[in-house]
Amino acid sequence: MHEEKITAERLTAFSDGVFAVIVTIMVLELKAPEQPAFSALGPLWPTAISYAVSYLFIAIIWINHHYLMRFVGPPTLGLIWINFVHLFMVSFLPFATAWIARTKLASSPVVLYAGLFVCVDIAYNVFEHQVLVRADVTQVSARVRRLARRRSLIVLAGFTTAMLVAFVAPRLGFGLICAALILHLRPEVPGFTNR
């Protein structure tokens, strides 16, 4: 039993390390302006907003991942692999963030950015499903599982819509990404118990 707990803790620790590296890579993309005036910060708005949204996305992913890990128990090989797939998708976020910042939220970069959110969310949905299916019913009721699944599918639909909208209206697509993120600000859905 002790070894199983260590395995779940190692999975969490590895994931935490990957999230930390991703945030570090993103912050390295932030370049200070050459001019010593506040007015030089104005043109950096695409960098600031893309960094803020990406940082929020990583924070939401980490919080939700941390929350779900409480229900894991001994992780299966399938759960470990889907966690790696999820982290792999998240690892592309610094690239996509830099591209939308450099192009001032142009269409193709925002489409890619939203598409990456779709891929990350699909991997997260599979991860969440595998965790909740194995969770004890005294911790997560069938009703809560349905609500979590419904919320996850709504967020996925939001990211997909943002991707499609970004083809013609990239800034609106970017706004839809932000709106979809709001649904995952709190990891638990109503009715989750923590026993």
In this prediction, residue 195 carries a pLDDT of 41
- pTM, rounded to two decimals: 0.87
In this prediction, residue 106 carries a pLDDT of 96
In this prediction, residue 3 carries a pLDDT of 52
In this prediction, residue 194 carries a pLDDT of 45
In this prediction, residue 129 carries a pLDDT of 87
In this prediction, residue 137 carries a pLDDT of 67
pLDDT tens for 105-119 read: 999 999 999 999 999
What parts of the chain have a pLDDT lower than 70?
A: 1-6, 137-138, 189-195
* DSSP output for the chain: -HHHHHHHHHHHHHHHHHHHHHHHHHHHT----SSSSGGGGGGGHHHHHHHHHHHHHHHHHHHHHHHHHTT--SPPHHHHHHHHHHHHHHTTHHHHHHHHHHTTS-HHHHHHHHHHHHHHHHHHHHHHHHHHHHS-TTTS-HHHHHHHHHHHHHHHHHHHHHHHHHTT-HHHHHHHHHHHHHTTSSSSPTT----
In this prediction, residue 4 carries a pLDDT of 52
